[in-house]
Structure formats: structure tokens, C-alpha cells
Chain A
Amino acid sequence: MQSLLDISGLGFERDGRQLVSGLSFAVKPGEVLRIEGPNGAGKTSLLRVLAGLYSGYQGDIRFNDELLTSRCRPLLQQQSLFLGHSPAIKMTLTARENLEWLAALQCRQVSAGILEAALAQVGLTGYEDVPCRQMSAGQQRRVALARLFLAPLSLWMLDEPFTALDKTAVLELEGWINDFAAQGGAVVLTTHHDLTTVTPLQSIVLEGSR
């Protein structure tokens, strides 16, 4: 099968240290790839390079056979979602307002039905119009995760997605990742968490600078 994301000869440095060099891998539709490595090995940086937040890299990144430059990546921007350490949720806005605006950033207008269905999927039925300030950290995280269900996507890029989630929520998220992969989506994620139920799981290990 054709690969969705194709990385060849990728290298980058942070603060004068060469973290990654000559890294090549591919992610096919239906695959879940986990980036592993000790603290400071560049897991988050690698994800930020893939998402397009960090432009100081060498090597080629292809999405759907299209070479990405650090600026011009419209296809990736429309078909993928990057969730970083900070969930981009404004405390003063309600769940609905947050999600509507984040969808607008992707040039999409979401109907009330889709929005409520996405919130129901993450277990926040009835929280549509509650300001996020009044939610727990885990619930705020769930609001951010609801974005995964707002629009058809082909790639999820998740940086430590299990942070602040309780046991049941962790299992739920693992289930969503499985379902998404089963439907032909690809997932790239970093986590310290043991992904017990996610199968099949690919992984690449960053060793850090020596």
C-alpha cells in the first residue's frame, strides 16, 4: 500500500545538539506509529517537525507523495490534526465556542449536530455550553480530543495525548485510535504510557544525542 507519510534522511538539532540524523521511516494508512526514547531525545521536536511547527530540519518529508516545505503544506494542514502539550482550549470560552473556532481555523463550519456528536463521543454530553474554566483538567483535555471527530481526517499527530486522562479515558482513547486505524487512518504519537490495547503498533526509537 502507498504510504501516507514518508520521511527520508531527516535530521535536526536543538540548542546546538544534533538530536536526530539520517532518520527514515514511513507511515501507511491504518498504521499506528509510536515515537519512543528517553527524555530530551527529541520526540516532541520530531512531532513538531512533522506537523510543520519547526522548520530547522534537513531531509525530505512527503505527505501523499507530495514533498512538504516548511511553509507550503495545505494538504497536510487540511487532512491532519496536531494536538500538542497545550490543548489550545480557551478557559473563558465554552466547549462549543472553542470547537467552532478551532474548526473555523481549518476553514470548516460545523453544524450543531456534528459538534454535539463529537462531544458525545468524548463523553461530554451536556457540557456544550459550559465554560471550560469550570471543567476539570481531564474534561478540558477531552474537549481538545473532540476535535478528532469534527471532520474527516487521515492523520492524527498526538503529543502525549494521555496526559491528565483517567484510566477509563485512557482506554477509551486507545479504542478511538484502534477504530481510526481500522478505518484507514494513520496515527503518530508520543507517550510514556503503555499502549496495552493498541494493535498493531509500530515504533521508532530515538536514542538522543551521544
Chain B
Amino acid sequence: MNPLTLTGLCRALLRRELTVMLRSRAELANPLFFFLMVCALFPLGLGPSPQLLATMAPGILWIVALLSVLMASDSLFRSDFEDGTLEQVLLSPVSLYLIVLIKTLGHWLLTGLPLTLLAPLLALMLQMPSSGLVVLVLSLAAGSLVLSFIAAIGAALTVGLKRGGVLLSLLVLPLFVPVLIFGSAAVQRAVQGMDSVSPLALLAAMALLSLALAPLAIAGALRVSLDQ
């Protein structure tokens, strides 16, 4: 029986989060297929004109990626709530801040990051000029991290409620506004051949801020959800 070091603890927490998610493959694949399918609906709704699609592609990709992150986040704490894991997490002497930070990061690694990597493929399908691809990936990588952490706050607030899904989107969609603005603007500027360093830098700053601050709100929200 040895006391656990901090790195050992972090590793154990992260490994478990990834293992649980990797073993339920359907849940892993669903947001990706959602991303693919909704993007495929846009040409059907707007018409197949390549020029039209090319101008709208950055916005479409960003909005659909945002919705996919939102969908994936609904289940972030739900199974842990239902099987009693969250009770044990709250009773643990380990800081709740650290636990939710690692849990949300692990969740992003298997939802936000795959979405980011899938995005260039969908960008080509939507006729987006290839000059924007690098910025698309960079902006989604930082932006989806922010989105994951914001959505995690909403998921933690609604985890104890019977009907969480739609409510979650009401709570977090307004908070997604800045990320959407900077993310899609970065891609649009890159497509137009303009410099997109400043929106990318802003997204990176927001990612760091949400890494530092969001776990506080998530931890508080989980306490409220269980303490009733």
C-alpha cells in the first residue's frame, strides 16, 4: 500500500477516462458521424454551387463542429452520475479541480481532437480552398478545447436532471459565441489570403483561460448537482 504521487494520480485518472471511452466505440464514433452527416446536408439544402459552398464552408464547418462537441458533452458526466462514480469522486481527498480538469481533457482528446482531424476532409467536400486548411485545423484544435470546457460546465449543471439534453444547449450556446466568431473568422481570413494570427492567438488565449478557470465552475456545479 503506497501513497500515490501526483503524476501517478494524473496518469491513473487519464488512463481510466480514455479506457472507458475507448471501450464504448459507438459513443466515440457518433459525434464524428454527426459532423459528417450534417455537413453533407448543407449542399442538399443550399444547392451544389461550388462558389456558394466555398464562401460558406468556414462557417458551416465551425457551426457543425460546435454542435458535435455539444452533443458529445451531454454524456460527459451522466454515466458517472448514474453508477455512483461521482459520489466516490466527491468523497475523494483528491482535489475535485484536478479530477474534472483531467476528465474533461481526456474527453476532448477523444471527441474534440478527432473532430479537428476530420475537418479538413469535410472542408474539401464543401469546396473550401485549401489555403484555409491549416488554419481550420489550428482554430478547431484550440476552439474545440474551449467548447469542451464550456460545455462541461453545462453538463455538470444538468447532470442530475432527468431531461438534460435541450437544456444543456440553452445554457451553453450563448457562451459559445466568441469561440464561433474568432474561429470562423480565422478560417475566413485564411481563405481570403489574409493574416489570421490574431484570431488564432485569441483562441489560444481563451483555451488557456478555460483550462484554468472552467474546472472551478465544473467542480462547483458537480457539487451542486450531487448535494441535494
Contact = CB atoms under 8 A, between A and B. Distances in A.
Interface of A: 51-56, 74, 77-78, 82, 84-93, 97, 100-102, 104-111, 114, 131, 151-152
Interface of B: 1-4, 8-9, 12-13, 16, 19-20, 23-24, 79, 82-85, 87-94, 226-228
Contacts of A85: 84
B16 A54 contact: no
Contacts of A101: 12-13, 16
Contacts of A88: 83-85, 87-88
B16 A97 contact: yes
Given A77-B91, A78-B93, A93-B20, A108 B83 contact: no
A100 B90 CA distance: 17
A148 to B, nearest CB: 14
Nearest to B99: A105
30 contacts: A53-B87, A53-B90, A55-B227, A77-B91, A78-B93, A88-B84, A88-B87, A88-B88, A90-B83, A90-B85, A92-B20, A93-B16, A93-B19, A93-B23, A101-B16, A104-B8, A104-B9, A104-B12, A104-B13, A105-B92, A106-B93, A107-B92, A107-B94, A109-B2, A109-B3, A109-B4, A109-B8, A110-B1, A114-B1, A152-B1
Nearest to B8: A109
A86 B13 CA distance: 20
Given A97-B19, A108-B1, A108-B3, A86 B91 contact: no
